[in-house]
Amino acid sequence: MATSHPVYLEDLAVGDIFRSAEHALDTEQIFDFARQFDPQPFHLDPQAARDSLFKGLAASGWHTAAITMKLLVASLPLSGGIIGAGVELQWPRPTRADDRLHVVSTIRQIVPSRSKPDRGIITVECHTLNQDGDICQQMVTQIVILRRPG
């Protein structure tokens, strides 16, 4: 789906797909994030990274997750915003400094709330892919979504 209007629960169907724009990573962004939040050698030092399990400089998985969120905010225009209730994450391969990332989100489940008539929960599967189509992050998340008022 391509839409810039707020999307309510009633607007969604299981299987709907949202595709984000692209984010171009670089070494400086990887260092910046790692210095603040994940200061480990394989995110900060290309030499040390070569000898690590990553076999080369890799972005923090939390950096990949944060970029994914940035791309989601712009590509998944949910009424009420994107407020995750729970998340499962996997990083099948490292995100590299020359990667250009985009996110493909698929609506997997839509459950209206029984106790709160103004909202529901959707399950969304988000794949964060690089320019070669490799999956750098798999995420399944439950998001609160508002119903159309009235």
Site string for its own copies, 20-39 (x = CB under 8 A): -------------x--xxxx
Distance, in Å, from the CA atom of 41 to the CA atom of 33, rounded to the nearest integer, reads: 13
Residue found by looking up tokens 């299987």 in the block: 15
The nearest distance, CB 36 to its own copies, in angstroms, is 7
Distance, in Å, from the CA atom of 77 to the CA atom of 91, rounded to the nearest integer, reads: 25
Site string for its own copies, 69-98 (x = CB under 8 A): xx--x------xxxxxxxxxxxx-------
Contact 25, 95 (CB under 8 A): yes
Q: How many residues bind its own copies (CB under 8 A)?
A: 33
Residue (98 or 118) nearer to its own copies, CB: 118
Query: Does position 13 bind its own copies by CB under 8 A?
Result: no
Query: Does position 57 bind its own copies by CB under 8 A?
Result: no
What one-character-per-residue DSSP string does 33-81 give?
HHHHH---HHHH-HHHHHTSTTSS----HHHHHHHHHHHHHHH--BTT-
- Of 146, 9, 10, nearest to 80 by C-alpha is 146
The nearest distance, CB 52 to its own copies, in angstroms, is 7
Interface with its own copies (CB under 8 A): 33, 36-42, 52-54, 60-62, 65-67, 69-70, 73, 80-91, 144
